[in-house]
């Protein structure tokens, strides 16, 4: 059975995006060679990438660009070539390579995907689908890059959840740039 993981950069005050949806605070961490090696290694792990429409638009606006290929070649190559699924009620067709659009019931579709053979499923960004799938009990692992910055306001990764989600720490790693990588699973 496939596992479902969510990976997000989060600020010290708990936001994965500012109030305008900007996640550029996470790029500051790239200034560290240690962090760059870590993210390149993670990108090689692969999987099927899952996005909500807003995050898909953000990712598609950057990863296929020449700038992405020059500044983060390993990650750009993986982002552009891995299979991707966009969950959207309004989108009908995706322009990014290896991407399909799902318009049906989010939890039912992800539950079905988890039962199929294949690589693990990884949500990047996409706070609303991460929160919905966490509440439905479908996320197996939470990968959080805690960034040493505070935004003051923004969107939380679990925005809209109506019930408590106890988590168990699996591992942590502190980086020279001040970022901390945390791995959790539902308790």
Q: Which residue is associated with the tokens 């990438």?
A: 49
Q: Look up residue 143 and give its two tokens.
A: 């990968």
State the sign of the Cα–Cα–Cα–Cα dihedral 134, 169, 142, 149: positive
187 within domain boundaries = no
Confidence (pLDDT) at 44: 61
In the chain, the number of structural domains is 1
**Distance (Å, whole) CA 178 – CA 104:** 40
As averages over each run of 10 residues, the pLDDT of the chain (187 residues) reads: 93 89 74 80 79 91 93 89 94 94 95 95 89 95 93 90 93 93 96
Query: Is residue 184 included in any domain, yes or no?
Result: no
Q: Within 10 Å of residue 156's Cβ, how many Cβ atoms?
A: 17
> Is 80 part of any domain?
yes
Residue 174 CB-density burial (10 A; 0-12 exposed, 13-18 middle, 19+ buried): exposed
CATH code for position 75: 3.40.430.10
Q: What is the pLDDT of residue 29?
A: 55
Whole-number pLDDT of residue 30? 57
pLDDT at res. 72:
85
Establish if 119 belongs to a structural domain.
yes
Predicted local distance difference test score (pLDDT) of residue 187 = 93
Q: Could you tell me the residue range of the domain that residue 150 belongs to?
A: 4-178
Give the separation between CA 86 and CA 123, rounded to whole angstroms. Answer: 10
Residue 183 lies in a domain: no
From 1, 6, 72, select the one nearest 40 (Cα to Cα). 72
Residue 150 lies in a domain: yes
């Amino acid at each position: 059975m496939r596992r479902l993981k969510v990976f997000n950069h989060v600020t010290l005050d708990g936001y994965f995006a500012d109030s305008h949806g900007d996640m550029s605070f996470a790029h500051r961490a790239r200034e560290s060679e240690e962090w760059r090696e870590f993210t390149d290694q993670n990108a090689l792990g692969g999987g099927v990438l899952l996005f909500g429409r807003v995050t898909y638009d953000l990712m598609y606006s950057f990863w296929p660009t020449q700038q992405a290929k020059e500044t983060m070649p390993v990650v750009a190559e993986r982002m552009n070539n891995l299979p991707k699924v966009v969950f959207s009620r309004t989108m009908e067709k995706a322009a990014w390579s290896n991407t399909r659009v799902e318009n049906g019931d989010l939890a039912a579709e992800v539950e079905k995907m988890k039962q199929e053979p294949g690589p693990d499923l990884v949500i990047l960004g996409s706070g609303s689908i991460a929160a919905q799938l966490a509440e439905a009990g479908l996320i197996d692992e939470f990968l959080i890059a805690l960034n040493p910055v505070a935004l003051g306001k923004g969107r939380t990764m679990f925005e809209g959840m109506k019930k408590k989600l106890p988590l168990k720490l699996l591992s942590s790693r502190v980086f020279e740039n001040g970022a901390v990588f945390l791995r959790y699973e539902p308790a």
